[in-house]
Amino acid sequence: MSKVLTVEELIKNKAKIAKSDDKEINATLNVPSIGGQIKVSFTRNDIHDFHEATQINADLPKEEREELFAQAGYNFVYSVISEPNLKDKELQKAYECKEPHDIVKKIFTDGEIGDIMDFVIEKGGFKNGRVVEVDDLKN
């Protein structure tokens, strides 16, 4: 059973607890629909940037908010995939992309895009599910 931490304990364990936002995280993901693997490379700062990009004005019409959110997702996935090089001009030309990040939706399904985003966010430490509510037991 764990206990409620004190300020002194947090100070004592600062080096162990402190998180670096610029440490690069690398991983290889299997994507069955394209018959192979991709590599992602990102920092916690990349995730912060994505979060900021998704803070969409609630006053906008729903369709416009959804489109802006989708574009932010395509840009995010485009920025974190390091291999294959989605920024390659020949690749973008072959897939007739109007905007560079269009390659994401031309190659990956919506589900795969969501899975890549979820993986990066979780691997970056933003959604690991380890924080749970503790029942306050009273005798």
- Read out DSSP for 1-44? ---PPPHHHHHHTHHHH---SS--EEEEEEEGGGTEEEEEEE-H
Q: State pLDDT tens for residues 12-25.
A: 888 777 776 778 99
Direct distance between the N- and C-terminal alpha carbons of the chain, in angstroms, rounded to an integer: 17
pLDDT at 23: 84
- Centre a 10 Å sphere on the Cβ of residue 138 and count the other Cβ atoms it contains: 4
Q: If you classify domain 20-123 with CATH, what class do you get? A: alpha beta
Residue 128 is predicted with a pLDDT of 67
Q: Which two tokens stand for residue 104?
A: 């994401």
For the chain, give the mean pLDDT.
87
* Token pair for 52: 């900021």
| DSSP secondary structure, 96-115, as one string | T-SSTTHHHHHHS-HHHHHH
* Choice among 32-36, 54-58, 79-83 with the minimum mean pLDDT: 54-58
Assess whether pLDDT exceeds 90 at residue 87: yes
* pTM, two decimal places: 0.77
Q: Is 26 helix (H, G, I), strand (E, B) or coil?
A: strand
Predicted local confidence at residue 17, as pLDDT: 74
Q: Where are the domains of the chain?
A: 20-123
**pLDDT tens sequence across 61-76:** 889 888 888 899 999 9
Spatial separation of the C-alpha atoms in residues 40 and 27, rounded to whole Å: 5
